[in-house]
Amino acid sequence: MATSGTTLSTGLDAETLEMVLASLREFARARLGDAVLLDLDARDEMPLGVVREMCGGELGIQLLFVPEEYGGLGGGAFDIYRVCEEMARIDLGVATGVLATFLGSDPIRVGGTPEQRRRWLTAIGERGLLMAYAATEPEAGSDLAALRTTARPVVEDGRAVAYLLDGRKQWISNGGVADLYTVLANAPGGPSWFVVDRDTPGLSAGKPEDKHGIRASNTAAVYLDGVRVEADRLVGGVEGQGLLQAQAVFGYTRLMVAAFGLGAGWAALDRAIPYSAGRVVAGGPLSEKQGYTHKLVVPHAVRLEAARAYVEETAARLDASEGGLNTEGAIAKYLSTEAGCAAADAAIQAHGGYGYTREYLVEKIRRDVRITTIYEGTSEIMEMTIARDRWQAHLKTRGDHYHEQARSLEEQAAGSPDTGAAAAALALHALAEVLERARTGRLTRSQHVLLRLGELIAEAEGAASLARRAASAAAGTLPARASTRFDAPALAAMARVRARDAAMRVAAEGIRLVAGATEQLDAGGLAAALRLPAIHAAQAGLAADMDLVADVIYGRA
Ligand SMILES: Cc1cc2nc3c(=O)[nH]c(=O)nc-3n(C[C@H](O)[C@H](O)[C@H](O)COP(=O)(O)OP(=O)(O)OC[C@H]3O[C@@H](n4cnc5c(N)ncnc54)[C@H](O)[C@@H]3O)c2cc1C
């Protein structure tokens, strides 16, 4: 079942993955049609039976992330991304119900003892247990270190035989319906994960939250009043590993939410595209009006595909056993979820007044996708994570980090000049110069500047990633499990559009940030350092490329 290729060493073979995706689509067609989804949304109801069927006998999605040695399929990050995207295309609320089990089992998968892994991962695989991942508290969200839930050891004969958990968890997906909870609590040795059964005395859940979106998911507070768990439920058997265990899977878990952004964003665009082909306004279909397509469809498709390129690169690296990748997970999540929200918003606009009504579903998708920039780390926390890490890379390489990546893209541009690599290289060179000005001017003392740099870094890296993906597609070297929606020429056109935009944004926003914090600005010197004339010259051909992307999207190419 597992593949053993050179670049993708973990996970399903492409054929098995396609079968899983096809079963998921078939299941959704039969059980989660538009009318059902609208009804669940209106009634604010989680379809618990459907989620149980997905995570149990009928579909068995949970087997994807259970290792083969415990009876699962042993899927890798790439498989999980593809499946998460597909689930999000169907319904983000239902997808969140499944995600909670993925997340809930992660501390065990990563930090559990062999016995704990065998015990619970086998049970999840065989019995389709629904899980909840209970980390957040009323006063500890982005800042998990502020958590107040306690785990007091029950000591007998000088050793802890059990723990008593006390506290309150907030906004927990599946909080009111899970069979098994992983709960983060402060033990004497520090934050630690505990595995808690639903029927343990002292554990209870609040009423489901009345949410803006993902109303087909259950989100509830979880109360812990003297909940006794035996010591063998301390994940990893050692106190104080909780935050490290949570960190260890961020690369992976944020990729899942990134996939949600892709799935929901495309689900919205894929409603706007046929709608605009059929809607005749002022004598012709909207799909033939550039002012419409080049604002409401093309840029969003391009942003989503740049995000996908980054997701796929990160997934491949995770599957090749490159550990950590927290920053890459953050970039993937940031790019995909921001692009997904923007695409869904544009899809409402693209439907005009109809988009503002419930019937056309884009209104629901827009509300649903909004959560993806909040949970599993907000966009602002992503910006901070990205900026801090890449800032260190800039300092360690004495400013060469992004110049070096740019040079590698320039080599690519020499071999495949049409893949946007040259413009992406300009974006990276400009980024390196902006970071250097930020260093000499001590601009990152301003948190605002630091976070805005995080955004620019993500944009430039995303553009570079799409340029690489376009070159791989042209060379026929994309991973077998990669999405195949767009062919090589289409990806190349998208990469050119994205790279030009990224170069312009890095330069313009970079100048704004530097100028905004500098008393005596050498504007000419800054423009030259950022290679502004070259960035302007690189915009040539943008209009034709946008036309080309529109033609591909509307099947006219
Ligand atoms: C529907 C839903 C489902 C969820 N599911 C789960 C779940 O299953 N398990 C779980 O553990 N949690 C879950 N969460 C919680 C979620 O992960 C948190 O809401 C999120 O991490 C943000 O934390 P917070 O709500 O406390 O916001 P805060 O941390 O208070 O943030 C508020 C705002 O301030 C910004 N901010 C925070 N810190 C900084 C800073 N240092 N500098 C600048 N800006 C900052 C944030 O970006 C945000 O815009 C869920 C939340 C929702 C709404």
- State how far the Cα of 415 lies from the Cα of 411, in Å rounded to an integer: 7
Catalytic residue among 376, 383, 436, 455: 376
Catalytic residue list contains 376: yes
Ligand 1 centroid from CA 105, angstroms:
20
Q: Which residue is closest in CA terms to ligand 1's atom 2?
A: 171
Specify the long-range contacts of residues 12-18, CB closer than 8 Å, at least 24 apart.
12/64, 12/73, 12/74, 12/75, 12/76, 12/79, 12/481, 13/480, 14/480, 14/481, 16/73, 17/75, 17/78, 17/79, 17/82, 17/481
Q: Is the CB of 371 under 6 A from ligand 1?
A: yes
What is the per-residue pLDDT for 518? 83
Q: Any idea what the Cα angle at residue 167 is, between residues 165 and 172, rounded to 5°?
A: 105
The DSSP call for residue 420 is S
The token pair at 374 is 């909040």
Q: Is the CB of 380 under 6 A from ligand 1?
A: yes
The token pair at 426 is 């300009």
Q: pLDDT digit string (tens) for 37-88?
A: 999 999 999 999 999 999 987 789 999 989 999 999 999 999 999 999 999 9
Cβ count within 10 A of residue 230: 13
In ligand 1, the atom with minimum distance to the C-alpha of 175 is 8
Report yes or no: 462 and 306 within 8 Å, Cβ to Cβ. yes
Ligand 1 centroid from CA 385, angstroms:
15
In ligand 1, the atom with minimum distance to the C-alpha of 379 is 47
Helix, strand or coil, per DSSP, at residue 190: strand
Ligand 1 centroid from CA 137, angstroms:
9
Report yes or no: 86 and 262 within 8 Å, Cβ to Cβ. no
Choose which residue among 91, 378, 448 to substitute to test ligand 1 binding: the one with the highest number of ligand atoms within 8 A of its C-beta: 378
Report yes or no: 312 and 276 within 8 Å, Cβ to Cβ. no
Question: What b/e string do you get for 127-137 counting C-beta neighbours within 10 Å, with b at 16 or more?
Answer: ebbbbbbbbbb
Report yes or no: 210 and 41 within 8 Å, Cβ to Cβ. no
| Residues 6+ away with beta carbon under 8 Å from 327 | 385, 386, 389, 390
Q: Is the CB of 135 under 6 A from ligand 1?
A: yes
Q: Is the CB of 141 under 6 A from ligand 1?
A: yes
What is the per-residue pLDDT for 57? 74
pLDDT profile of the chain (557 residues), mean per 10: 44 94 96 97 97 88 91 93 97 96 92 96 93 97 95 97 98 98 98 98 98 98 98 97 89 93 98 98 97 98 98 95 89 98 98 96 98 97 98 98 98 93 98 97 94 98 98 96 96 98 98 90 92 98 98 94
Cβ count within 10 A of residue 439: 15
Q: What pTM value is reported for the model?
A: 0.97
Total residue count of the chain as it appears in this document = 557
